[in-house]
Amino acid sequence: MSNVNERILGIIDFVRGCYEAQTRAFSAFEYGYLGELILKNKVTSVLDVGTGEGNFISGLAGLTPSVMYKAVDADPELISSAREKHGTANLSFEHMLFDHSFPYGNFDLITARFAVEHMKNVPEFISDAFTKLRSGGILMITEYFIDTSYAGNSTWKLFRDKELEFYHNIGSHPRISLALPKYLKDQGFSGVESVLRHVSPATVGSLEFYDVIRSYANLYSAVEPGLWTKELKQQILDYCDTSQTRASGREDVLFVSQTTGIKP
């Protein structure tokens, strides 16, 4: 049985806007972080697991032309679209499930961006990644953390509560970030580190931030219309429009974690 939550497969038309908005909003800090990690550790080969349409990894490949990238995804439609959209010479896409039988190995760096939250067995993925890295290689996992404790106002609180419920309904992990450091350590990684990024209108730009929230509302309501009703979706879209243009601004917040470990 595959390690991927089937609920997120075969829905390219629903997820596309979301993946593009996330790349636009988050990549500035992600590319800086990964660029430094690649330079400092003399990385020359990277595997991206769960690459989606390849928006994020193609940007990174363009910034680091001497590094060879392989990017895989379990969804054939996403990979065929990635191939059409991104023709970078140092990046190849393959439709492939990443598990213990994955035929390639000895990578300097394995990345997984917003993919682990949709895996059925996360420790198993981390153990498989360990075997596919060279000694001294790095696993770098980027994940979402759905925080429902901060509520600047009732609509933001509603958005986060319903987002959490959505994750539970589809069987994905809304707070996997918090478990990752221990999982990495348990599977034999050393030098485990994790940071939580504060993603907000002030840190990534108001337009980019609320575009991400709009894309989530559209995605959630397409996948779970019973929970994310038309009315709820519209309420969140209206909230984004007014928040984005408020003279005083709003400071709603998302958290994104970056967790790394080194194979000894």
Ligand X SMILES: C[S@@+](CC[C@H](N)C(=O)[O-])C[C@H]1O[C@@H](n2cnc3c(N)ncnc32)[C@H](O)[C@@H]1O
Binding site for ligand X (CB under 6 A): 3-4, 8-9, 19, 22, 49-52, 55-56, 72-75, 78, 97-99, 113-115, 118-119
| Residue with smaller CB distance to ligand X, 80 or 155 | 80
| Residue with smaller CB distance to ligand X, 38 or 239 | 38
The least distance separating ligand X from the CB of residue 61, rounded to whole angstroms, comes to: 13
Cβ atoms of 256 and 196 within 8 Å: the answer is yes
* Number of C-beta neighbours around residue 256 at 10 A: 22
| Residue with smaller CB distance to ligand X, 86 or 160 | 86
The least distance separating ligand X from the CB of residue 171, rounded to whole angstroms, comes to: 13
Residue 46 parent element (H or E): strand 45-49
The least distance separating ligand X from the CB of residue 246, rounded to whole angstroms, comes to: 29
Cβ atoms of 226 and 169 within 8 Å: the answer is no
Q: Among candidates 183, 111, 177, 180, which has minimal Cα distance to 144? A: 177
| Residue with smaller CB distance to ligand X, 151 or 223 | 223
The least distance separating ligand X from the CB of residue 79, rounded to whole angstroms, comes to: 9
Q: Residue 187 has which token pair?
A: 């599977």
Burial of 164 (0-12, 13-18, 19+ CB in 10 A): middle
